[in-house]
Chain A
Amino acid sequence: MISIIVNDREVTVDVEDDTPLLWVLRDTLGLTGTKFGCGIAACGACTVHVDGQAVRACVMPVAAVAGKQIKTIEGLEVDGPKEDRPGEDRPGENKPREDRQLHKVQQAWIDHQVPQCGYCQSGMIMAAVALLEKNPNPSDADIDQNMTNICRCGTYQRIRRAVHTAAKE
């Protein structure tokens, strides 16, 4: 049994120690916003925050994050009800869309119509949020250097613009 703190809520999971955090989030807790893309930390689709740092959950054994603060795409919305258990209800899930308060990066992603297929975008957004927390006003070069996630639809140009927009908020 391993205890982790996901989106401000402590949960205990009964899985093998070597289970990657990605599969604990997805299969055990039902938080499927975090995606599987490569399994070797090469594509960034599984990016989540551990103690505020962007990490690739597909190679992070759950035992290594015991007791740590984990944030997923589902925990980004600023008014998510914290009493909900992850896996049963997502923050804000039952509220009409217009009542949900998105994170400024999510809103910028909508404003710039970034997603196409959308599969990589949870990871992209988590990477962007982590970047902005470290560097509130990144240059294009900073974005390019720090965000190494893959998008096969090629949404990169809009990602750059959206990060700049979010930085201005």
Chain B
Amino acid sequence: MPIRDTVVKIARRTFLIGGAALTDGLVVGYAVLREKPGTAGFEDSGEPGTALNAWVKITPDGDIILAVPRAEMGQGVYTSVAMLIAEELEVDLADIKVEHPDLDGKYFNRFAMRDQTPIDFAPALWIVERIGARIPMVVTGSSYTIRDAWATMPVAGAAAREMLIAAAAERWGISTDACIARAGHIINRTTQAKLSYGELATAAATFDVPANPPLKDPADYRLVGTPAPRVDVPDKVTGDAAFAIDIELPDMLYAAVRPCPMLGGRLESFNAASVEAMPGAVGVVKVDIGVAVVADSYWRARKAVNALDIEFTAADGAPLNSESIKQNYYQELDTPTELYTVHDDGNTTAALNTAAQTIEAVYEVPFLAHACMEPMTCTVRIDGNGDEARGEVWVGSQSPTMAASGVAAGADIERDNVTCHITYMGGGFGRRAEMDWIKQAAQIARTVQGRPVKLIWSREDDIVQDMYRPVAVARFKGGLDTAGQPVAWSNRIVSQPVTVSFLGRSMSGVPLTAEQDLTMTEGATELPYRLGKVLIEKVAMHLPINVGNWRSVGHSFNAFFKESFIDELAVAAQSDPYQYRRELLADAPKHRAVLDLVAERSDWDTPRDTNQGRGIALHESFGTIVAQVADVTVSADGSVRVDKVVCALDCGSVINPDTVEAQIESGIVFGLSAALYGEITIEDGRIKEQNFPQYDVVRLKGMPIIETHIVPSTASPGGIGEPGTPPIAAAVTNAIYDAVGVRVRRLPIKKVVV
């Protein structure tokens, strides 16, 4: 039960950080110190400059516990990170337990961090990486990628293993060379005597942590690279896995909110008396963009807040509308207010003018919601007042640091006085990297001191208060020579800068301009193809609409734009879309290998039936190259069915191929939902689609067969959570063109007008 889990976690944490750790067992803290960021604003915001990667803990009873301070939101990190440690520690995955350590600023400071605040786990690092990539001056030399786990987690395991070997050698009075670690034991090579890790842990803890323990040759890996079962799966089939919504604490209260339905609108007044007499109601609280009711059960809170007399006022000026926003985008496409040149080979216009053939196309994608299966949920308890006030939060957050900041901001307390407990997440996709709902929960909890309050957003609350994937519009111009080869490629993208929006609401100390924000053009500038003279421009839009990191961010639209336009060039060149791309990849052998693999495995050349089509797309993101071939059927009424998707990828070294396959399928389905149905519309200043199925997604009925093929590699790993998403929309629209000769340039596809 959640209560018990919480208690156990706290107890373990205390054990982990207490001085007793050194006498009761072995704790290896492996820390990578990094340069502090180079700008005062960034540092002052309290965001991290140091990474704490992992802990290995072995109890005298022989329990091996790996602390993985990373967020598990479905991507399998509890397992893959544990595999990297277990490999070097010489233990089986079945014999270890994984813990998500609770975040506590003091804990980090005291334990290992030499007065620096830690970067606490991967998704936070991912954010910092994004910022870092965008403001090189802030984190020069401090970029942090998934490769970091690849490079550092094995060291944590190896360091612990060497300490255990040292303890055994001392016990036996032999040299460490005469000892070998196998399956949770140290073995005396000469006598074959064995000592378990549990027996050795206390003694091992007296040795220094080796800074450079010997590491295995990856060729000798026995666990990494195998399809190991995930450690979190058993609890996820019994209902035992505790998500934020499942937290139960003594004396808990529940809260439901009614956010202002008008974007940018404000709360005018409310009549608390209208609900105070309702059963179970405890209080009515004004929050940032609405009103919440606290009650003794969620349902009572929900009913009361729905019954509450509230007056909201619309934002000043004309109400926002998707149609007028789009018109604005198209105006800016032609006559930009804020134009930046991102890449310019020079003479692109001249090359276009002298080309044998020119092709022009404009593409468009809408706002999208994240729609995580678990709506935003957060439990907060605030105790005390003033400088002594303490906060505690239980939440599924991609960033405990942000969660602590959210509580601090909402309850007006010191960030260091906030303790975070991170739960499993019912989906993240970038949404749980925000702090807005956590702040809201803290605003509510501070009014009922000493009692935990669980805020649960309805699906409608979740969608209307989302940080959306922005609208994007792009115009391409391509010039071909007489042989159909590109001589010029011009691409102007109009969109909202995501990181500017994100930082503006969450880390206002971090300066970032639209020019520095690379999200608008990520995926548009890294072109593997030979395209002649290239010009990439962006036009920044500034709208009063929160935009956020949506699985693959700018790649989500730029892959669609770029891979659609390449397809249009192939058609103009009267060339096969696969062969055309292949020829243009003469300088990109890795990309070509992935493309060839997908063509081979999809039987690219086999004929299609009437109204069936096959489309191809290739895109690199997050260090992983992905190619997809989609087979579609277009019905007489214009509805589109995706029958099959074959995916090939080069993601470097693979830690867990089963997780790679699962994440690629996941990324494809996420992108397919957006391509086929995804659209958030603003009408008269309000979000129109507020729940499923208005905001529809792929279900079993629309699920294609997906095949995933991985290119063998010994290179450092690339990402896998996001790269499956970007190419799918273009693979599908290119297949639609192949089927019925209609070019879809605007998402979602909905129905094809044949």
Write the residues of chain A forming the contact surface with B, with a CB cutoff of 8 angstroms: 15-16, 19-20, 23, 26-28, 30-40, 42-43, 45, 72-74, 76-77, 90, 93, 97, 100, 102, 106, 109-110, 113-122, 125, 143-145, 147-160
Shortest Cβ distance from residue B247 to the other chain A in the assembled complex, whole angstroms? 9
Chain A hits for B375, CB < 8 A: 36-37
Contacting pair B374 A156 (CB below 8 A): no
Quick one: which of A45, A93, A116 contacts B75, CB cutoff 8 A?
A116
State the CA gap A39–B489 with chains docked (Å).
48
9 smallest beta-carbon distances between A and B, as pairs: A33-B239, A154-B669, A119-B426, A118-B236, A117-B74, A116-B74, A73-B239, A115-B236, A156-B703
Contacting pair A120 B229 (CB below 8 A): no
Q: A39-B459, A73-B239, A119-B243 are in contact. List 4 more A-B contacts (CB 8 A).
A: A16-B299, A42-B693, A119-B374, A125-B237
- Nearest opposing residue in chain B for A36, CB measure: B245
State the CA gap A149–B283 with chains docked (Å).
35
Write the residues of chain B forming the contact surface with A, with a CB cutoff of 8 angstroms: 1-2, 73-76, 229-230, 232-243, 245-246, 248, 254, 279, 297-300, 371-375, 424-429, 456, 458-460, 658, 662-663, 665-670, 691-693, 697-701, 703, 705-706
State the CA gap A43–B371 with chains docked (Å).
11
State the CA gap A110–B279 with chains docked (Å).
43
A-B contact pairs, 13 of them (CB 8 A): A32-B248, A35-B243, A40-B692, A110-B234, A114-B233, A116-B663, A147-B700, A149-B700, A150-B692, A150-B699, A152-B371, A152-B670, A156-B700
Quick one: which of A33, A113, A117, A158 contacts B427, CB cutoff 8 A?
A117
Shortest Cβ distance from residue B280 to the other chain A in the assembled complex, whole angstroms? 9
Chain B hits for A109, CB < 8 A: 233, 237
Shortest Cβ distance from residue A124 to the other chain B in the assembled complex, whole angstroms? 9
How many inter-chain residue pairs (CB < 8 Å) link A and B?
A: 191
Chain A hits for B73, CB < 8 A: 117
Quick one: which of B241, B667, B700 contacts A144, CB cutoff 8 A?
B700
- Nearest opposing residue in chain B for A125, CB measure: B237
Contacting pair B1 A30 (CB below 8 A): yes
Shortest Cβ distance from residue A61 to the other chain B in the assembled complex, whole angstroms? 11
State the CA gap A54–B693 with chains docked (Å).
19
Contacting pair A150 B237 (CB below 8 A): no
Quick one: which of A37, A102, A122, A153 contacts B666, CB cutoff 8 A?
A153
Shortest Cβ distance from residue B624 to the other chain A in the assembled complex, whole angstroms? 17
Shortest Cβ distance from residue B329 to the other chain A in the assembled complex, whole angstroms? 28
Chain A hits for B246, CB < 8 A: 26, 32
State whether A33 and B701 are in contact (beta carbons under 8 Å apart), knowing that A42-B693, A115-B233, A152-B427 are contacts in the complex: no
Contacting pair B298 A143 (CB below 8 A): no
State whether A45 and B238 are in contact (beta carbons under 8 Å apart), knowing that A27-B298, A152-B697, A154-B698 are contacts in the complex: no
Chain A hits for B662, CB < 8 A: 113, 116, 155, 158
State the CA gap A159–B665 with chains docked (Å).
12
Contacting pair A93 B76 (CB below 8 A): no
Contacting pair B233 A110 (CB below 8 A): yes
Shortest Cβ distance from residue A147 to the other chain B in the assembled complex, whole angstroms? 5
State the CA gap A39–B279 with chains docked (Å).
21
Chain A hits for B237, CB < 8 A: 102, 106, 109-110, 114-115, 121, 125
State the CA gap A154–B674 with chains docked (Å).
12
State whether A118 and B424 are in contact (beta carbons under 8 Å apart), knowing that A30-B1, A157-B665 are contacts in the complex: yes
State the CA gap A147–B459 with chains docked (Å).
21
Contacting pair A36 B456 (CB below 8 A): yes
- Nearest opposing residue in chain A for B72, CB measure: A117
Shortest Cβ distance from residue A105 to the other chain B in the assembled complex, whole angstroms? 8
State the CA gap A163–B629 with chains docked (Å).
27
Shortest Cβ distance from residue A111 to the other chain B in the assembled complex, whole angstroms? 9
Contacting pair B374 A33 (CB below 8 A): no
State the CA gap A42–B456 with chains docked (Å).
18
Quick one: which of B297, B658, B668 contacts A28, CB cutoff 8 A?
B297
Chain B hits for A149, CB < 8 A: 699-700
Contacting pair A118 B459 (CB below 8 A): no
Contacting pair A45 B373 (CB below 8 A): yes
Chain B hits for A15, CB < 8 A: 297, 299
Contacting pair B297 A116 (CB below 8 A): no
